[in-house]
Every structure is written in C-alpha cells, then in structure tokens.
Chains A and B, each alone.
Chain A
Amino acid sequence: MRLVVRRWKEGWRAPRYDVFEVEADPSESVLDLVERVSLKLDPTLTFEHACHHGVCGACGMVVNGVERLTCVTRVGDVARNGVILVEPLHGFKVVSDLVVDKSRMFSRYPDDTRTLERVAAQVEKLWDCVECGICYSACPVACSYPSYLGPSVLAWAFHRAVEEGRVPAPVASRSGVWSCHAAFDCSEKCPVNFQPGEKIMRLRRLLLRGAVEVV
C-alpha cells in the first residue's frame, strides 16, 4: 500500500508530496493509516483527529480527489491501484500538512448558536452536522469567495429561520444565501447528509416570500 501525503510547513515556498510504503488492512480507516504513518514513520506529519467514529468533524481530508471524513472511510473502498493520496481540505488556509484553519466557518457562528436540536418534546440531539468543513472544500463559491458564509453556517441559519422566523442580516446578504450557485457539491459530499444546498434554497424561498424577518 502506498500512502501519498501533501506536505506543507510554515515558511515553505511550495508543497511537497511524500510517499510512504505501509502495510494496510482494507477494512481499516484511512485515518488509522495516516495515524500509523505519523507514529512509525514520520512524527512531524500533522493532521486533525479526535473521535475516530464520525461525530466530531476533525478528520476531513481530500482522499484521491474526494472530500471525506477519513475515520469512516475504509482503505479498501478508496485505494486506487494500491495508492491513496491525501490532501488538506480546500477552501481553508493550510496550517501544516493536512491541518487547515477552520476559523472561516466557526468565527461566523452567532454567539447564541443553538448546538442542540429538539427532536421531540423530551429529546435533545446535537445536530447531525459534525462541523467538518467538507462542504466548504467542495463548494466552488466558498473556494473562490473568502467572505461567503458557507454551506453549513447557512444550513444552520435555515433551521433557526424555521424555528424563530428570523435571520441575521449577513445571512440574507451577498455574502449569504444569494452567493450560492446551486452546484450542490456540498450536499453531494456532506458525510452526514445534512443537505446544506437544499437548505440554502429553502431559505432563499422563505426570504423571497417575506416569510422570515431580517434582523
């Protein structure tokens, strides 16, 4: 098995691609493979990970050209001719190797962000959206327009709009729902089927109908 990793460190002029030859089991996750390389072959390899079971959103990477949560992506399902190429997510500034700076997503959260969804009278649930940033990486607008609020943040705003009949002004501005090109790559690549693209469209319709207030 050959793991190819895009490397970049502070001060480098250009990225570099490193090749690691490793034993791998087709049923293990791409993340486990990357972690093993960092433990056995190159301790300077940096990447983000925490839960290893698809709930925290830390481990998003571009694997053989496609955005994925690497902890729930099996080696055998994505390797091509025994090769796996991992690169950092697009649409964010690279910090080091596979680590990107996700502040363009998190810094857009309003202070009263609701992290819990009420699914029944007595039942609370953290939103399915794991805040991985994959939808930004997949979105042609987010990748070329840095002030775009981005798919997941707008999808959350849609839920707030439905619940409260209100959205903050930036959501209804040029950097908000009106920038979306309806490419739906976000929904296509979202690992939890949160459907940010569809939610942006629905929020637009609510705004056009005057069904939500802009505050």
Chain B
Amino acid sequence: MRRVVVIGGGVTGAAIAYDLSLRGFRVTLLERGSAGSGTSGRTHGLLHSGCRYVADVEVARECYSENQILRRIAPYLFEKNGGLFVAITEDDLRYKEFFLEKCEEAGIPVREVSREEALRLEPNLNPQLKAAVVVPDGTFDPLKVILSFLASAKKYGADIRLYNEVRGFRVGGGEVKAVKVLDKVSLREYELEADFFVNATGAWANKVASLAGLHVPVKPSPGVMVALDGRIGNMVFNRLNKPGDGDIIVHHRGTSVIGTTSWVVSDPDEVTAPKEHVELLLRRGAEMAPIVSRMRVKAVYVSSRPLIGQAAQTGREISRSFAIIDHSSEGVSNFFSIIGGKFITARLMAEKMGDVVCEHAGVTAPSRTAELPLVPYWHFYG
C-alpha cells in the first residue's frame, strides 16, 4: 500500500487525509499543535453561499456547490439559517443589479425581500436598510467540522498525529525520502518515510517547504474578527457591496462575529490584531446592525489566509481559488503543496489533491468524499 504523509491538521489537511484514506492510501497526518490550531479554527464559521464572490462567477459557483455537498454529507454540523445581503447606502444599492445578475449566472438561488420582510426576519438589522436579498448561507463551529473530517479519515485507517511538528526532510535522488518530526507528547524525534508528501500547512506552507529547500508562493494575509458577548441574529448579515472590511456578521451558538480585515505579513507566527481594526469592525458592524455598539466584546482574534502569490497563478490551473504546486520543477518529484481556498472548499481541494497524488501513484480510484456521509466528530475520540 502506498504511504502518504500529510502535513498540517487544518481543514485542508484533514480533508486530504480523508480523501486519500478512502482511495486506499496509508496516510499519516502530522500537525504541530492541536486540530485546527492554525487558521482553520479561527474563521468566522461562515458556510458561504458563494454570493460574496459573485464578481468571479466560477469561484461563486464552486462555493455554492461545496455548500450543498457539505449540507448533504454532514447536515448536523451546520446552522442552516440562510443569510441576508443588505444595502444600507445609495452606493450599496447601486451594486444590487449587478449582484442579482451574477447570482443568477452562478446558479445560486437568491430572493429579494422587502424592507419589512427583512426586518421581520432579523429585527436587529438597521431599520434604514434600502434593499435585502436572502441567500443560502449557513454557519458552523470550525473545530467540529475539522474533527469530523479527521474522524472520517481515522475510520478508513489514517494515523492522525497531533502535536507532531515537522522539523526537516531527508531529500535525495530527486525525492523526499523522509520527514523529520518532533513528537511533543513523548519528546521524541523520529523520521518517517513515505512515497508521497503533501504540504497542507496553509499560511505556513513556505516555511515548511523551505525545510526541503523548496518554495511555495504563499502570502500570509491576516484578518481580524470580533466576537460579541451575545447573539444578535440567525441569518448571516452581509453588506450588499463589493467584499470589503467589516461587512459580515456571522452568528453561531451564543455569539455573533464581525469580520474581517486584510493585510499581508511575512510570518504567520508574528501576527496580532491592530486596535484600529477592532474599532473599524465595530463601526462597520454597527452600520448593518446598530445594536452592535451596545454589545460587550467577548473576544478579538486573528488568523492568516494562505493567499496565493503571483507566481503560482502561472502554474497548474486546478481552480481559480486554490493552487496545487507540484515541486518536480524544483527537482523533487513526490512533494506537493496546496494553498488558497476557503474553509468550505476544503473537500474539493482535497479531491483535486487526491487526483494529483493518484495520478503520480498510478491509482485510479475516484474520490468518494462528495457521496459518503461524514463521520460525526465525537468518533474522533475513544
């Protein structure tokens, strides 16, 4: 049986471990911290309908299709309450025609509702709103989704090693032979050999690849999120305009989260939330839902998107929203990196990554992750 080492226990690595285990590979997943301790744990938890990305219809379609698949394979993980795009200003209102047109082109079912209807659905929205469109958004607890992918991978034989940090590689003869690992549970260092290595470390992808002398064109791009002490709605609040700062409010369990901002850093381990970003988010959030200004802030958090740098776009075009980097052009034939994407497109990213590994391994098994129900997260334990 072919052995694959997957590096990174975010949602992408977890989904890849599942996809490849299902296709018969012997998978070991290595994560330096706990499950989801990188970017994946720290998201809004928005099951995007795709409407936010309609400027690129292909990306929007991809989001919507994954949204539908996730609802089908794991309905119990998502609050499926839909979302609203609301226009507050005249400028927002001018975006509406374009928005509705593009949603239709992308095949996403949306419905414009009256101001009264919108306020009946979500009384905390700004009563001055000028237009509202209902969309098929949802929300989730990120950790439980990641653990469900990991539980599913485990069911098909994957060995999930949390607190196991990749510290280096043994490279020779145009291949990575083994990965060097620090096991923080037993304080033991060891080497692990495999036929293929998948680098799914997101914003850390270049840091990890450089340990093998390779390069990944990832641009870590942090964003700040503010969680309120209380829940102010059920449907996701989106600003009806081009994506920008502070234009989403996502509700799950007992909280509402305002997001987000965006800048670029060189090291995702050196990121803190600037105070101005918190103020901006609260101000912009209050434009959509005035009650925001009367709420206590429960937590401020920040994480980094694994944004694709210029160079990758000239590489293999798997999708417009994520990139798979085959490092054979750098002289290493069995090492692949995957960057970009979104939390909710991880299953698709894993499917494409699985296709690439299968092609190299001469395996023909197709991906089955879109059909099989996901194993619930509590099976990860015990």
Q: Mark A residues whose CB is within 8 Å of B.
A: 9-11, 29, 38-39, 43-58, 71-72, 95-96, 99, 101-103, 105-107, 109, 111, 113-116, 119, 122-128, 130, 192
Contacts and interface: CB of A to CB of B under 8 A. Distances in A.
14 contacts: A9-B185, A39-B269, A47-B34, A50-B34, A50-B37, A51-B36, A51-B301, A52-B301, A53-B298, A72-B299, A109-B378, A124-B79, A125-B79, A125-B234
A103 B143 contact: no
A116 B305 CA distance: 29
Nearest to B140: A126
B79 A113 contact: no
A53 B186 contact: no
Contacts of A99: 34, 163
- The 3 A-B pairs of least Cβ separation, nearest first, read A50-B41, A107-B382, A103-B382
A71 B41 CA distance: 12
A186 B146 CA distance: 27
Given A9-B185, A130-B253, A50 B142 contact: yes
Contact of A116 (B42, B76, B143): B76
Contacts of A10: 185-187
Contact of B141 (A55, A102, A114, A123): A55
A53 B256 CA distance: 10
Contacts of B79: 116, 124-126
Contact of A125 (B45, B146, B253, B376): B253
B73 to A, nearest CB: 14
Nearest to B183: A10
Nearest to B144: A56
Contacts of A95: 185
A29 B297 CA distance: 12
B81 interface: yes
B374 to A, nearest CB: 12
B253 A55 contact: yes
A55 B35 contact: no
Contacts of A124: 79-81
B33 interface: yes
A115 B76 contact: yes
Given A55-B141, A55-B255, A106-B381, A50 B185 contact: no
Interface of B: 32-37, 40-42, 45, 76-77, 79-81, 140-144, 146, 163, 165, 182, 184-187, 225, 227, 234, 252-255, 257, 269, 298-299, 301, 376-378, 380-382
Given A49-B41, A52-B42, A9 B301 contact: no
Given A96-B184, A115-B77, A49 B253 contact: no
A54 B252 CA distance: 11
A39 B254 CA distance: 30
Contacts of B80: 124
Contacts of A116: 76, 79
The CB with the most chain B CB atoms within 10 A, among A46, A56, A57, A128, is that of: A56
Given A96-B163, A124-B79, A53 B299 contact: yes
Contact of B143 (A29, A58, A114, A128): A58
A9 B253 contact: no
A113 B379 CA distance: 12
Given A10-B185, A53-B298, A101 B381 contact: yes
B122 to A, nearest CB: 11
B275 to A, nearest CB: 10
A23 to B, nearest CB: 12
Contact of A46 (B144, B163, B257, B376): B163
Nearest to A48: B34
A113 to B, nearest CB: 7
Nearest to A104: B382
A72 to B, nearest CB: 5
B253 A58 contact: no
A49 B269 CA distance: 15
B72 to A, nearest CB: 15
A90 B144 CA distance: 23
B33 A46 contact: yes
Contacts of B380: 106
Contacts of A105: 381
